[in-house]
């Protein structure tokens, strides 16, 4: 079952910016409400959109039905079978959310797209293949699992857009080296404004330090 996104309105309207933050496997938009409420206090003219993945059977979890942006056949293995169609379909969903905000009058340069884990992966793909230049991209514990499929779809629109990628060195789900491979992929394809932050001892999660760095990133995006 698909649910509409959780929307946290700008505290000071009308909104002048938008932040789209995408959850990971088995989570929900509601699970990232804290993120929108935290940064909404610092950026009161920004609306936060927290989309919900559809419910689907996930192969790696024995076919158990949960919210997922695409099927997963094996955790943390870039050489495993990948659900390319599902990944690209979800990336297009995010692109449509960006375009919806633009249609509401939000300046694309004031739109930030990002997410955690699965959400980070599809956010990176959505931004790199988008035909609109946006204000920034945030990838927490992200990865790129279908580089060959994404490469011919990459556009030049966001090659100079600021990207933030953060990854824990102790991540047991998406290994740190996998995060580095993701960074290297985008840098090798001409994304010149790409920050990579490593967090010593952090597992598959976020941290106060990472959130401080994201605040600094957003301060520039919404300046």
Judge whether residue 129 has pLDDT over 90.
Answer: yes
Answer whether residue 157 is part of any domain.
yes
Residue 1 has pLDDT above 80, yes or no: no
In a domain, 124, yes or no: yes
pLDDT of residue 21: 98
Look over the chain and give the mean of its residue pLDDT values, rounded to a whole number. Answer: 96
Query: 160 lies in a domain?
Result: yes
Residue 223 within any structural domain of the chain: no
> pLDDT for 8-39, tens place per residue?
999 998 999 999 999 999 999 999 999 999 99
- Note the pLDDT of residue 13: 80
| 145-196 tens-digit pLDDT | 999 999 999 999 999 999 999 999 999 999 999 999 999 999 999 999 999 9
Check if the beta carbon of residue 197 is closer than 8 Å to that of residue 213: yes
- Token representation of residue 168: 């824990």
The partner residues of 198 in beta bridges, in order of sequence, read 167
Query: What pLDDT score was predicted for residue 2?
Result: 58
CA 142/CA 105 separation, integer angstroms: 30
Total number of domains in the chain: 1
Q: Residue 137: name the closest of 168, 154, 161, 117 by CA.
A: 161
Residue 76 has pLDDT above 80, yes or no: no
For the segment 86-110, what is each residue's pLDDT rounded down to a tens digit? 999 999 999 999 999 999 999 999 9
Strands lying side by side in the sheet with 17-22 = 6-8, 46-50, 17-22, 111-116, 136-140, 163-168, 194-199
Q: Indicate whether 106 belongs to any domain.
A: yes
Domain span at 11: 6-218
pLDDT of residue 81: 93
| Catalytic residue selected from 68, 90, 117, 123 | 117
Would residue 84 count as lying in a domain? yes
117 part of the active site: yes
Q: Is the pLDDT of residue 47 over 80?
A: yes
Is pTM beyond 0.95? Reply is yes
CA distance linking residue 55 with residue 53, whole number of Å: 7
Q: Classify residue 1: in a domain, yes or no.
A: no
CATH, residue 149: 3.40.50.1820
Place of tokens 């967090």: 199
pLDDT of residue 79: 78
Q: Is residue 105 part of a domain?
A: yes
23, 128, 167, 204: which one is catalytic?
204
Q: Which residues pair with 65 in a beta bridge?
A: 57
pLDDT tens sequence across 193-213: 999 999 999 999 999 999 999
User: Does residue 78 register a pLDDT over 80?
Assistant: no
Catalytic site includes residue 85:
no
């Amino acid at each position: 079952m698909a649910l509409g996104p959780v929307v946290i309105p700008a505290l000071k309207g009308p909104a002048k910016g938008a932040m789209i933050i995408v959850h990971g496997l088995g989570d929900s938009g509601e699970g990232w409400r804290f993120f929108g409420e935290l940064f909404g206090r610092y950026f009161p003219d920004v609306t936060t959109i927290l989309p919900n993945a559809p419910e689907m059977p996930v192969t790696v979890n024995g076919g158990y039905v949960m919210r997922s942006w695409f099927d997963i056949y094996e955790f943390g293995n870039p050489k495993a079978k990948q659900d390319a169609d599902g990944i690209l379909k979800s990336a297009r969903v995010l692109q449509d959310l960006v375009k919806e905000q633009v249609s509401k009058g939000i300046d694309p340069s004031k739109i930030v797209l990002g997410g955690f884990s699965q959400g980070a992966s599809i956010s990176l793909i959505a931004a790199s293949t988008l035909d609109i230049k946006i204000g920034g991209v945030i990838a927490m514990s992200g990865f790129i699992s279908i580089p060959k499929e994404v490469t011919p779809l990459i556009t030049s629109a966001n090659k100079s857009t600021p990207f933030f990628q953060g990854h824990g060195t102790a991540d047991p789900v998406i290994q740190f080296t996998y995060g580095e491979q993701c960074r290297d992929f985008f840098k090798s394809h001409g994304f010149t404004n790409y920050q990579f932050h490593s967090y010593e001892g952090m597992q598959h999660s976020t941290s106060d330090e990472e959130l401080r760095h994201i605040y600094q990133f957003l301060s520039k995006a919404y300046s």
